[in-house]
């Protein structure tokens, strides 16, 4: 059952770790993430890193973060430096292959009317907008911009192109995550989605066409940090947060996250200290965004555990990353979800139930939103009738529907993407807390639009205060303050 649940989690970020190589005649180098004690990058950062045996290959100066190429003993030396607060092998975020169901091309071509898909498939958007009634007076505007840190956007998709604002950026360097993707040239303007996840998220926020988002008139920008393979170094994500904040976006949607230690971290028996560099950087980046007027909205995660149980989270981290030589001791937390000034969103299904995969926790989850579920799919699978589930399109009753590009890939002998071909705009059904967070980002954007000059802190409070109480009476660990809806803002 656990394996089955895993394949149903649709393109929601999990954390992986770069594994260093020890031994051999030639000393190999790997990537490290380093956070300086100064909140901004010091002027002598290059010299400090060079004296420790490394070379800076990527930097986010606003929060004192650099990515370094160095030999395998670099981290041990770096954490002993008086200038450095944390250093460890660079963490990578992966978008694993998950269960998605694409719309039939012939069915798609038959759709010509505005909002033709809304009544048929968008149970989740209908739930939050009172069957679309809120669109008339509370649909957002281009005076407010949501920054979507994700896989980019399908520039050819008619449903999401209308609200795409100028100024989107790409943070994926030439070659991509694994250095072999010929389509990745490092062009800062190349925001074309090669994966689908980002376009699906954007559709839930601001689609205005055959399908509709929660805020169908709000503006958004795409900040691309993932390529076709769905991998990204955390430094790219931090740079995108800072970039979006500097661009003046009002809301930053992050349908991603990872697990970080606040206790002791060991790599092959060597102690790396009590802080993971990425967690320190996340705290700085979220503060920077808030100072610049942006509210970060994050997905809660798809591990179906209590995020406020430090031992449970640490056990999961050891289970996931132990094979790489890591051992975590003490408390571990999710980030950015567990950071105080972030709005963290759990996922619900069509009956307002907590989705079977959703991570939860009292004091962790702020609000909930529909991310899709697969209770019915599990029933049909257990009965040996999963083919019937697909044939009858029963997934339309519980999965989250949105826009995607239809793509083909070229791969090398190692199975890594070397190029891609864009086919056409399309639609797919996904499930995950990645599908819940953008709905709350859209609602936050409406609040910014209708309360000129409002602060991110106040928007977070209004989201919590206006949420519709579901589940147990009052605040609880599954849904936080409740289901975030547009119509409840104005009751």
- Mean pLDDT over 469-474 rounds to 93
Residue 98 pLDDT grade (very low, low, confident, very high; cuts 50, 70, 90): very low
Per-residue pLDDT at 27 exceeds 80: no
Domain shared by 461 and 425, yes or no: yes
DSSP string, 413-466: TTS-EEEEEEEEEEEEEE-SGGGTHHHHHHHHHHHHHHSTT--HHHHHHHHHHH
- pLDDT score recorded for residue 191: 98
Domain shared by 312 and 251, yes or no: yes
Domain shared by 177 and 228, yes or no: yes
Per-residue pLDDT at 142 exceeds 70: yes
- pLDDT score recorded for residue 17: 33
H-run or E-run covering 263: none
Record the pTM: 0.92
- pLDDT score recorded for residue 93: 74
Per-residue pLDDT at 24 exceeds 50: no
Whole-number average pLDDT of the chain: 89
Q: Which of 42, 72, 89 lies at the terminal end of a domain, its last residue?
A: 89
CATH number assigned to the domain comprising residue 202: 3.40.50.200
224: phi then psi, degrees, rounded to nearest 5: -85, 120
Residue 107 pLDDT grade (very low, low, confident, very high; cuts 50, 70, 90): low
Domain shared by 229 and 340, yes or no: yes
- pLDDT score recorded for residue 7: 35
Domain shared by 151 and 32, yes or no: no
- 261, 298, 434, 484: the catalytic one is 434
Q: Which of 42, 73, 89 lies at the terminal end of a domain, its last residue?
A: 89
Residue 369: domain span: 2-15+94-490
Identify whether 336 is preceded by a cis peptide bond (ω within 30 of 0): yes
- pLDDT score recorded for residue 76: 84
- Mean pLDDT over 12-17 rounds to 30
Residue 396 pLDDT grade (very low, low, confident, very high; cuts 50, 70, 90): very high
- 138, 159, 181, 197: the catalytic one is 197
Residues 69, 74, 80, 85: is their CA dihedral positive or negative? positive
Based on the residue annotation, tell me whether 197 is a catalytic residue of this protein: yes
Residue 104 pLDDT grade (very low, low, confident, very high; cuts 50, 70, 90): low
Domain shared by 72 and 169, yes or no: no
Per-residue pLDDT at 444 exceeds 80: yes
Is residue 326 within 8 Å of residue 332, measured between CB atoms?
no
Domain shared by 190 and 75, yes or no: no
CATH number assigned to the domain comprising residue 55: 3.30.70.80
- pLDDT score recorded for residue 109: 59
- 10, 124, 150, 200: the catalytic one is 150
Radius of gyration over every alpha carbon of the chain, rounded to an integer in angstroms: 22
Is residue 56 within 8 Å of residue 77, measured between CB atoms?
no
Based on the residue annotation, tell me whether 352 is a catalytic residue of this protein: no
Per-residue pLDDT at 13 exceeds 60: no
Domain shared by 369 and 399, yes or no: yes
* Counted domains in the chain: 2
Domain shared by 72 and 180, yes or no: no
Residue 73 pLDDT grade (very low, low, confident, very high; cuts 50, 70, 90): confident
- Percent of the chain residues past pLDDT 70, beyond the cut: 89
Per-residue pLDDT at 202 exceeds 60: yes
DSSP string, 271-300: EEES--HHHHHHHHHHHHHHHTT-EEEEE-
Residue 103 pLDDT grade (very low, low, confident, very high; cuts 50, 70, 90): low
Domain shared by 364 and 441, yes or no: yes
* Both tokens assigned to 460: 């977070």
Q: Which of 64, 89, 114 lies at the terminal end of a domain, its last residue?
A: 89
Domain shared by 69 and 98, yes or no: no
Lowest mean pLDDT segment, chosen from 77-91, 284-298, 333-347: 77-91
Based on the residue annotation, tell me whether 104 is a catalytic residue of this protein: no
Residue 274 pLDDT grade (very low, low, confident, very high; cuts 50, 70, 90): low
- pLDDT score recorded for residue 18: 34
Does residue 272 or residue 20 have the better pLDDT?
272
Report which of 21, 97, 130 is spatially closest to residue 483, judged by C-alpha positions. Answer: 130
Per-residue pLDDT at 479 exceeds 80: yes
- pLDDT score recorded for residue 6: 36
Does residue 292 or residue 109 have the better pLDDT?
292
Domain shared by 293 and 434, yes or no: yes
């Amino acid at each position: 059952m656990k394996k089955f649940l895993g394949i149903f989690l649709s393109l929601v970020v999990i954390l992986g770790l770069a594994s260093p190589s020890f031994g051999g005649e030639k000393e190999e180098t790997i990537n490290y993430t380093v956070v300086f004690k100064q909140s901004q990058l010091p002027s002598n950062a290059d010299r400090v890193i060079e004296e420790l045996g490394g070379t800076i290959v990527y930097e986010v100066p606003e929060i004192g973060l650099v990515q370094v190429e160095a030999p395998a003993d670099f981290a041990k030396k770096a954490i002993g430096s008086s200038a450095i607060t944390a250093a460890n092998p660079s963490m990578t975020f992966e978008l694993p292959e998950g269960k998605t169901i694409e719309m039939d091309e012939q069915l798609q071509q038959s759709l010509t009317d505005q909002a033709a898909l809304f009544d048929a498939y968008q149970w989740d958007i209908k739930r939050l907008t009172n069957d679309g009634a809120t669109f008339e007076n509370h649909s957002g505007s281009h005076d407010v911009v949501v920054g979507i840190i994700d896989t980019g956007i399908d520039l050819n998709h008619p449903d999401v192109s209308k609200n795409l604002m100028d100024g989107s950026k790409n943070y994926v360097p030439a070659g991509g995550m694994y250095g072999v993707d010929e389509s990745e040239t490092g062009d800062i303007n190349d925001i074309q989605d090669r994966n689908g996840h980002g376009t699906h998220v954007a559709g839930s926020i601001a689609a205005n066409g055959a399908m509709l988002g929660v805020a169908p008139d709000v503006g958004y920008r795409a900040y691309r940090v993932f390529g076709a393979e769905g991998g990204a170094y955390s430094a790219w994500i931090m740079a995108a947060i800072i970039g979006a904040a500097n661009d003046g976006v009002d809301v930053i949607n992050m349908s991603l996250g990872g697990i970080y230690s606040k206790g002791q971290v060991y790599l092959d028996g060597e102690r790396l200290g009590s802080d993971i560099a990425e967690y320190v950087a996340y705290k700085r980046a979220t503060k920077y965004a808030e100072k610049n007027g942006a509210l970060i909205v994050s997905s809660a995660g798809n591990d179906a555990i209590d995020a406020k149980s430090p031992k449970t989270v640490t056990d999961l981290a050891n289970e996931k990353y132990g094979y790489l030589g890591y051992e975590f001791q003490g408390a571990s937390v999710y980030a950015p979800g567990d950071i105080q000034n972030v709005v963290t969103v759990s996922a619900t299904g069509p009956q307002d139930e907590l989705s079977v995969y959703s991570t939860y926790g009292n004091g962790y989850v702020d609000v909930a939103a529909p991310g899709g579920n697969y209770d019915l799919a599990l029933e049909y699978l257990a009965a040996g009738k999963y083919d019937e589930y697909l044939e009858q399109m029963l997934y339309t009753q519980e999965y989250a529907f949105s826009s995607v590009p239809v793509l083909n890939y070229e791969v090398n002998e190692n199975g890594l993407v070397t190029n891609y071909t864009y086919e056409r705009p399309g639609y797919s059904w996904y499930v995950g807390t990645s599908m819940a967070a953008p709905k709350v980002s859209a609602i936050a954007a409406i609040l910014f639009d209708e309360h000129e000059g409002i602060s991110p802190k106040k928007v977070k409070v209004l989201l919590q205060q206006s949420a519709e109480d579901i589940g147990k009476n009052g605040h609880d660990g599954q849904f936080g303050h409740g289901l975030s809806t547009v119509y409840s803002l104005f009751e």
